[in-house]
Amino acid sequence: MNQFLSFVRKEFCHIFRDVRTMLILLLMPIILVILFGYAISTEIRRSPVAVLDHRRDDVSFKRIEQFRGSEYFTLHTTTGNPAEIHDLFRKGEIKIALIFPADGEEAAILSDATNPNEATALTQYATAILASPLPGAGPFYPTLMQRGGGVKAEVSLLYNPQMKGSYNFVPGVMGLILILICAMMTSVGVVRERETGSMEVLLVSPLRPAYIILAKAAPYLLISIVNIATILLLSRFLLDVPIRGSVALLIAFSILYALVALCLGLFISTIADTQQAAMLISGVALMLPVVLLSGMIFPVENMPWILQRLSDVVPAKWYIAGVKDVMIKGLGYESILRETGILALMAIVLTAISIKRFNTRL
């Protein structure tokens, strides 16, 4: 035990005496959460809008005021000249324009639409504003709601009523950070011992390989727990993402995922010969699948069959699904049994392979 503890202490020395490692371990989670929470957001805010107002009455003025007040739009210009609107579109100064005809019930929305996702979102926001009741009056353009056979669809968004992007990104960022820290750091750590030759001396000592591996992984597990706490606090109090389920369950599930990532790192260390190779393998083989195949950005359900199967072996996919269930939907442990089982299985298989592949010789 003494042997093990002094090994762990040595690992902490390595971590705390290298400024770059420290920065990566402790600052990266904070930066990523803030980056994904604010800068990289699928929500569109304060999009400039121009209004071509032929109506010029109380109703159109009130509508324009509503757009001015919305956090999604800022009013660029109000004009009566159609040519000016087209000019603004060509210059790229506006992404969307409203047209109020001189008479009749309908309003038109013109959209730039070079970026389809943005156009869809903006027209949805604009339609929602136009369909809302005017202050002190009934719905002004009832026809907007009733297109499509006269059935009125009442939409309610259960778990994310404001359609906030951060509800999706926080679980994704947790999945990304834990795998980066645990897998990359442990794989680089083990390979460094081999590269600098200290592994030669350790191998000739009475230390058992399993001890070496465990002692290498333990500090990163502790740091991951700190990171999980940081991310949860940041998302709760900075990004206003609720934690609806049990915090203990969420942390326990995250620790299981961190373990899988550690095992993955140990496995990588048995393949890579140099620190650079370990870094590259962790970067390319872990980060890309986590970003692309975990459902964090692109929905897995729409992918071709082969990519869907490939995504099944990405631990982050199961972790993110589980975190969404517990954190956003507030479900209990029964709902994430499948995810837990799959992650546990991955951890066991990876540990077995790593210990088997761990060379007791050079």
Partner 1 sequence: MNSVVVQNISKAYGGVTALESVSLNVGGGELFGLIGPDGAGKTTLMRILATLLLPDTGSAKVCGLDVVTDWKDIRRGRIGYMPGRFSLYQDLTVEENIRFFASVFRTTMEKNYDLIRDIYVQIAPFRHRRAGRLSGGMKQKLALCCALIHRPDVLLLDEPTTGVDPVSRVELWDMLGRLKRQGVGILVSTPYMDEAARCDRIALMYSGRCLSAGEPGVICREAGASALYAVCSDNMYALLSDLRSYPGALSCYAFGREHHLRLKPGESDASLLTGWLCDKGHSGITVEPISVTIEDWFMDKIVQHNEQE
Q: Which residue in 27, 40, 201, 313 binds partner 1 (CB under 8 A)?
A: 201
Q: Which is nearer to partner 1, 120 or 274 (CB)?
A: 274
Would you tell me how many other CB atoms lie within 10 Å of the CB of residue 55?
A: 17
Part in contact with partner 1 (CB under 8 A); list of ranges 51-59, 68-76, 198-206, 327-335: 198-206
* 269 closest CA partner among 218, 225, 213, 224: 213
Is residue 113 classed exposed, middle or buried when 0-12, 13-18 and 19+ CB atoms within 10 A define those classes? middle
Distance CA 108, CA 98 (A): 6
Task: Indicate whether 20 belongs to the interface with partner 1 (CB under 8 A).
Answer: no
Part in contact with partner 1 (CB under 8 A); list of ranges 11-19, 104-112, 268-276, 313-321: 11-19
Q: Which is nearer to partner 1, 24 or 202 (CB)?
A: 202
Task: Indicate whether 6 belongs to the interface with partner 1 (CB under 8 A).
Answer: yes
> Cβ(340)–Cβ(256) under 8 Å?
yes
Task: Indicate whether 2 belongs to the interface with partner 1 (CB under 8 A).
Answer: yes
Distance CA 316, CA 172 (A): 8
* 45 closest CA partner among 139, 167, 163: 163
Q: Tell me, by CB under 8 A, how many residues bind partner 1.
A: 22
Task: Indicate whether 274 belongs to the interface with partner 1 (CB under 8 A).
Answer: no
Task: Indicate whether 18 belongs to the interface with partner 1 (CB under 8 A).
Answer: yes
Distance CA 36, CA 23 (A): 18
Task: Indicate whether 362 belongs to the interface with partner 1 (CB under 8 A).
Answer: yes
> Cβ(75)–Cβ(129) under 8 Å?
no
Q: Which residue in 150, 206, 299, 304 binds partner 1 (CB under 8 A)?
A: 206
Q: Which residue in 129, 134, 203, 353 binds partner 1 (CB under 8 A)?
A: 203
User: Which residues bind to partner 1, rule: CB under 8 A?
Assistant: 2-3, 6-7, 10, 13-14, 17-18, 196-198, 200-207, 361-362
